Amino acid sequence: TQLLEQSPQFLSIQEGENLTVYCNSSSVFSSLQWYRQEPGEGPVLLVTVVTGGEVKKLKRLTFQFGDARKDSSLHITAAQPGDTGLYLCAGPRGGGSYIPTFGRGTSLIVHP
Amino acid sequence: NAGVTQTPKFQVLKTGQSMTLQCAQDMNHNSMYWYRQDPGMGLRLIYYSASEGTTDKGEVPNGYNVSRLNKREFSLRLESAAPSQTSVYFCASSDLAGGEQYFGPGTRLTVT
């Protein structure tokens, strides 16, 4: 059973479109991180959300942490080909454990 | 400042051979991790080291051993490689256990 479920699994869009990807769990997380991984490279941290209801913006990317801290979303405005990559959410398992767990990711392709 | 480095970048092994994957970080981080990434499976934690001198099993530890050599270095050993261990291996580090992680570029391992 995957602790963090990401959707959609794949997304193929045209440059300029908006999109939202989701990261959901039945468990409460003390924090969630979003990473982007480009082909052939390791994941790179984008943002950490900590407080329920928190919204963070990184240029055209908007990250939100659910009020109950069980879900998070990433919204990209006016997607560009440079946004292409695998978007991963991750967080510590909790329950006294700090073992990190990752979702399986959303693979995004933005066509010029 | 190199961040997290991994060697080798690519490796081909025959079934039954052994090898050690090396990882080093120069960020003075306390925690280090080894993951494997397979298509459709996301990142799965093999072993982690919350602090120097400690190591613990992750989700998929069978067939692997680790050594936290010092605060900087964390190695992963395959004693008798199997085709099921064909994967991309990532090392990561974080200042706090379960916190924001910084990844290396990965080792692409093929076992024939």
Higher pLDDT, A9 or B96: A9
A56-84 residue pLDDT tens: 999 999 999 999 999 999 999 999 999 99
- Per-residue H/E/C for chain A: CCCCEEECCEEEEECCCCEEEEEECCCCCCCEEEEEECCCCCCEEEEEECCCCCEEEECCEEEEECCCCCEEEEEECCCCHHHCEEEEEEEEEECCEEEEEECCCEEEEEEC
Give residue A1's pLDDT.
60
* Contacts B101 to A, Cβ<8 Å: 33, 35, 43, 45, 90, 100
Contact yes or no for B98 and A92 at CB 8 A: yes
B85 pLDDT more than 70:
yes
Task: Answer whether A33 touches B (CB < 8 Å).
Answer: yes
Of A32, A96, A102, the closest CA to residue B59 belongs to A102
Give residue A95's pLDDT.
66
Give residue A3's pLDDT.
85
B1 pLDDT more than 70:
no
Give residue A96's pLDDT.
66
User: Which residues of chain A fall short of a pLDDT of 50?
Assistant: none
Mean pLDDT along residues B71-97: 95
Give residue A49's pLDDT.
94
Of B46, B96, B99, B100, the closest CA to residue B74 belongs to B46
Contact yes or no for A42 and B42 at CB 8 A: no
B15-59 residue pLDDT tens: 999 999 999 999 999 999 999 999 878 899 999 999 888 999 999
Residue in B closest to A88 by C-alpha: B42
